[in-house]
Amino acid sequence: MSAGYKGRRFEFLEHTADVYIAAYGKDLREAFENAALAMFETMTDTVDVKREREDDVEVEGEDVESLLYNWLESLLVKFEIENMLYSSFNILSIERDNGKFKLKAKIYGEPFNPEKHKQKVGIKAVTYHRMEINEEPSGVTIKFILDI
């Protein structure tokens, strides 16, 4: 797995009552993958989540911010409804089609097991508050807040 942008994959930033995250990547796909990893790392130690199951995810957005929101929200819904934790994310494509952005990905994880998976923080929602996506030739930085 790549080291991301600036030698980092993601970091937790200071924020009260919420989790403020910066995720990095050499491109938008890798930054989105690392944003998803950071979200699940907020919930549990992702090193303990095995790649037992592969799921497909497809989301759309009017712009890259709504695409990021819909991507993370769809993963959070999978956790809440299917009780699944994920630790590996492979975005196959991010494309612009008829003015909309479309993301296709394969995600890997296993069902949540309280005896195996440490519970950290429960995430209530993904938010648009202070969301930033900065694309530069040298890499991408994504910042977003999770309501906990």
Q: Would 3 be classed as within a structural domain?
A: no
Instruction: Please give the pLDDT value at position 15.
Output: 57
| More confident site: 98 or 3 | 98
Domain count, the chain: 1
Instruction: Please give the pLDDT value at position 121.
Output: 87
Indicate whether 45 pLDDT > 90: yes
Euclidean distance between CA atoms 112 and 135, whole angstroms: 34
Q: Would 30 be classed as within a structural domain?
A: yes
Residues 24, 106, 119, 44, CA torsion sign: negative
Q: Would 117 be classed as within a structural domain?
A: yes
Euclidean distance between CA atoms 118 and 87, whole angstroms: 14
User: What is the CATH classification number for the domain harbouring 126?
Assistant: 3.55.10.10
Three-class SS of 59-92: EEECCHHHHHHHHHHHHHHHHHHHCEEEEEEEEE
Q: Would 24 be classed as within a structural domain?
A: yes
Q: Would 5 be classed as within a structural domain?
A: no
Euclidean distance between CA atoms 99 and 139, whole angstroms: 24
Q: Would 2 be classed as within a structural domain?
A: no
Question: By residue range, what is the domain housing residue 102?
Answer: 10-147
Q: Would 98 be classed as within a structural domain?
A: yes
Indicate whether 95 pLDDT > 60: yes
Q: Would 20 be classed as within a structural domain?
A: yes
Euclidean distance between CA atoms 104 and 6, whole angstroms: 26
* pLDDT tens-digit series, residues 120-137: 988 999 999 899 999 999
| HSE of 126, CA atoms in CB hemisphere, 13 A | 21
Does the pTM surpass 0.75? The reply is yes
